[in-house]
Amino acid sequence: MGLRAREFVALSHLRIAPRYDPQILLAVRALDDRTQPMAEISRRVGAAAAEFGLPKPSYVHLRRLIVAHREEEDAERRRREEIRQILGEVYLDLHRGRVVNAYDVADRIREAGR
């Protein structure tokens, strides 16, 4: 057996981490509460998984999912705030009688939060 064949056999026996059911991901989003410790969120998601008839995800994996979810929420919050600021500036410019280039505004909104 050549080197390539041995590599293929070795790789075909590797176990990779399971993908979580979309219901678990939805439960993380629905049950996340920043006022509670992540361990409590993990317990709640584990209970929801049991209700769905799914295996309970590990705390380590859930913690990663919770952190990723919170980072997404924070990024979206920053983006919305930046858009509010842009629209406030546009409002003031229009109120003062200045010309506003709609294409520039659209570009700024498109780039917001990046």
Nearest Cα to 34, choosing from 61, 71, 79? 71
Q: Which residue has the higher pLDDT, 6 or 50?
A: 50
**Distance in angstroms (rounded) separating the CA atoms of residues 91 and 100:** 9
What pLDDT score was predicted for residue 48? 94
Please give the model's pTM, rounded to 2 decimal places.
0.71
Q: How many Cβ atoms are within 10 Å of 45's Cβ, its own excluded?
A: 27
**Distance in angstroms (rounded) separating the CA atoms of residues 56 and 24:** 9
Q: What is the pLDDT of residues 96-113, one digit of tens each?
A: 999 999 999 999 999 998
C-alpha distances (whole Å) from 95 to each of 36, 89, 90, 98, 102 are 44, 10, 8, 8, 15
Q: Is the dihedral of CA 77, 82, 85, 90 positive or negative?
A: negative
Q: What is the pLDDT of residues 31-76, one digit of tens each?
A: 999 999 999 999 999 999 999 999 999 999 999 999 999 999 999 9
Where exactly are the structural domains of the chain? 20-111
Q: Quick check: 62 and 29 in contact, CB under 8 A?
A: no
Nearest Cα to 111, choosing from 72, 89, 78, 69? 78
Q: How many Cβ atoms are within 10 Å of 47's Cβ, its own excluded?
A: 13
